[in-house]
Amino acid sequence: MTRIDATFAKLKAEGRRAFVSYIMAGDPDVETSLELMKGLPAAGVDIIELGLPFTDPMADGPTIQEAGQRALAGGMTLQKTLDMVAEFRKGDDTTPVVLMGYYNPIYSRGVDRFLADARTAGIDGLIIVDLPPEEDDELCIPAGRAGLNFIRLATPTTDDKRLPTVLQNTSGFVYYVSITGITGAAVAQAVDVAPEVARIQKAASLPVIVGFGIRTPETAREIAGVADGCVVGSAIVAEMAKGRPVDEVLAFVASLAEGAHSA
């Protein structure tokens, strides 16, 4: 059982929804992003999604693209991201960490080496947005063998014919993208999300977590109320971009977590 599996089992036993937060590794610098990461569990975050900076983040909106560019400009690399997770693990051995990004940096490192290093660092799962199910032999299946969850995205355009293919080797949870398009582009609506989540839950024996378009505690509560939890990314990254102190950003995260947990 991975930390992700254990977290969802605990939440289910407690009758609570999950709150997942996304931050970009190295934004605005390694020290600040590590400080933020270390503070997330106490702010109510159940699972941390850690963005791996990449030069061509095609699925991300301007907020996360700019965060990645700031991180890269500051010298952030895949190795430094793994080091950041290892440092986080010195003080937290229970909160799941999911690395979210694109395949190119992993391919460049070598899949076997990357998976071994990711396990050693303390990463629990992967979301690699540019690897479709047809490419599962590239990383998804090897990741499963290495003991990492491979989390797949489902979208409003994932119809009943496509859904079984998407779910085939998915583990940990299913990430449902609530809107079409890039991150931060619109506001999620529970009335639209609910039937889609129910459809995926019927087809999968996994929790369904909803992301994209969640920026307020109220929306977090509404979306978590029709799913197994929710993800907030762009709204948190935007607070960091404003140069706010980490404690203020964590207070904002805590308000979002409270919203999700009150569902």
| Three-state SS sequence of 66-77 | HHHHHHHHCCCC
134 labelled catalytic: no
Specify whether the CB–CB gap between 179 and 186 falls below 8 A: yes
Instruction: State how far the Cα of 69 lies from the Cα of 148, in Å rounded to an integer.
Output: 27
60 labelled catalytic: yes
Instruction: State how far the Cα of 15 lies from the Cα of 18, in Å rounded to an integer.
Output: 10
Where are the strands (E) in 139-223, listed by range? Answer: 149-150, 152-154, 174-177, 208-211
| Three-state SS sequence of 122-144 | CCCEEEECCCCHHHCCCCHHHHH
| Cβ partners under 8 Å of residue 112, min gap 6 | 142
Query: Torsion angle of alpha carbons 139, 233, 19, 223, nearest 10°?
Result: -110
Residue in 5, 27, 46, 49 annotated catalytic:
49
Residue in 5, 60, 136, 222 annotated catalytic:
60
Instruction: State how far the Cα of 13 lies from the Cα of 15, in Å rounded to an integer.
Output: 6
Angle between helices 234-241 and 62-73 (to 10 degrees): 50
Active site residue ranges: 49, 60
